[in-house]
């Protein structure tokens, strides 16, 4: 089955700085790469996703890059704000939409 | 419109008891997924339905876990003879046919004592 590795597990940045979270996957047939944000005690919420036919996607302060050859993808958050503090999960999907999640990165933005 | 809802939100069970967790997907969503999220971990896939058909149950950890979606809308995850290792948040997600985007419910936090 699919194996997703995510790092770092924790990340602290100063407000206004950028944050980068990286994931690798094992199944070259995977074609869907979402990122979820989960605040404490809340449901995971999709913040951005990318398909395998696209190398980069941006939405305001959030961007995701995908390298299918190397089987890795990254989340970039620019101009971080305290409300960005949460746990971020990468995930990998294919076929009928089942996704495999990474272990999560706890992001702390220090005011 | 209403999102995915789950009930109960919290459940405490004594070891050995049976529990039933309910998921109400978004109306019109054909696909429904159950995930188990242990403390400090990412969600792990349990099972998948397309309408009433359970197409993948490869993630169910043991035969004590059973899921159903008899009319293709509401789904129930049942855990028999609960064990302490079953303590986790159980998340339900749904999506439109052919769409990759999954909408998650708030989860049911199960604590087995």
pLDDT tens digits, one per residue of A33-69: 999 999 999 999 999 999 888 899 999 999 999 999 9
Contacts of B6 in chain A (CB under 8 A): none
A43 closest CB neighbour out of B31, B50, B106: B106
Q: Contact B99/A101, CB-based, under 8 Å?
A: no
How far are the Cα atoms of A26, B40, B102 from residue B35, in angstroms, in the given order?
A: 21, 14, 12
Mean pLDDT of the B53-71 span: 95
Let me know: does B76 contact B68? Beta carbons within 8 Å: yes
Task: Answer whether residue A26 shows pLDDT above 60.
Answer: yes
Task: Give chain B's contact residues with A (Cβ, < 8 Å).
Answer: 31, 33, 35, 40-45, 48, 50, 55-56, 91, 95, 99-107
Strands A10-14, A105-110: pairing is parallel
By the 10 Å C-beta count (0-12 exposed, 13-18 middle, 19+ buried), A77 is classed as buried
A42 touches B at CB < 8 Å: yes
B100 closest CB neighbour out of A43, A97, A103: A97
A72-99 pLDDT, tens digit per residue, is: 999 999 999 999 999 999 999 986 668 9
Mean pLDDT of the B23-33 span: 95
**CA–CA distance, B45 with A79 (Å, rounded to integer):** 33
Find, among A90, A75, A82, A73, the residue nearest to A35 by Cα: A90
List, as one string, the DSSP characters of B29-89. Answer: --EEEEEEE-TTS--EEEEEEETTEEEE-TT--STTEEEE-TTSS-EEEEESS--GGG-EE
Contacts of B105 in chain A (CB under 8 A): 43
A49 touches B at CB < 8 Å: yes
A32 touches B at CB < 8 Å: yes
A93: nearest CA partner in chain B: B100
Band the pLDDT of B1: cuts 50, 70, 90.
low
CB-based contacts of A81, cutoff 8 Å, min separation 6: A15, A109
Task: Answer whether residue A19 shows pLDDT above 90.
Answer: yes
B101 closest CB neighbour out of A46, A89, A101: A46
CB-based contacts of A13, cutoff 8 Å, min separation 6: A19, A80, A107, A108, A109, A110
Let me know: does A99 contact A88? Beta carbons within 8 Å: no
Q: Contact B48/A96, CB-based, under 8 Å?
A: yes
Quick one: pLDDT at residue A95?
Answer: 67
């Amino acid at each position: 089955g699919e194996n997703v590795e995510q790092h770092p597990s924790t990340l602290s940045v100063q407000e206004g700085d950028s944050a980068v979270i990286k994931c690798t996957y094992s199944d070259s047939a995977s074609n869907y790469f979402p990122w979820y944000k989960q605040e404490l005690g809340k449901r995971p919420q999709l913040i951005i996703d990318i398909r395998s036919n696209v190398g980069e996607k941006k939405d305001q302060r959030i961007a995701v890059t995908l390298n299918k050859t190397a089987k890795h993808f990254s989340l970039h958050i620019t101009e971080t704000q305290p409300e960005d503090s949460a746990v971020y999960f990468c995930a990998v999907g294919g076929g009928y939409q089942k996704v495999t999640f990474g272990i999560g990165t706890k992001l702390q933005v220090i005011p | 419109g209403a999102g995915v809802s789950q009930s109960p939100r919290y459940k405490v069970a004594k070891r050995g008891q049976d529990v039933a967790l309910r998921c109400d997907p978004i109306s019109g969503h054909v696909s429904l997924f159950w995930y188990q999220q242990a403390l400090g971990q990412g969600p792990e896939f349990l099972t998948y339905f397309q309408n009433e058909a359970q197409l993948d149950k490869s993630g169910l950890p043991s035969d004590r876990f059973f899921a159903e979606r008899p009319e293709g809308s509401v789904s129930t995850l049942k855990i028999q003879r609960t064990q302490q290792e079953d303590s986790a948040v159980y998340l339900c997600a749904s999506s439109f046919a052919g769409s990759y985007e999954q909408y998650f419910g708030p989860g049911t936090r199960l604590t087995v004592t």
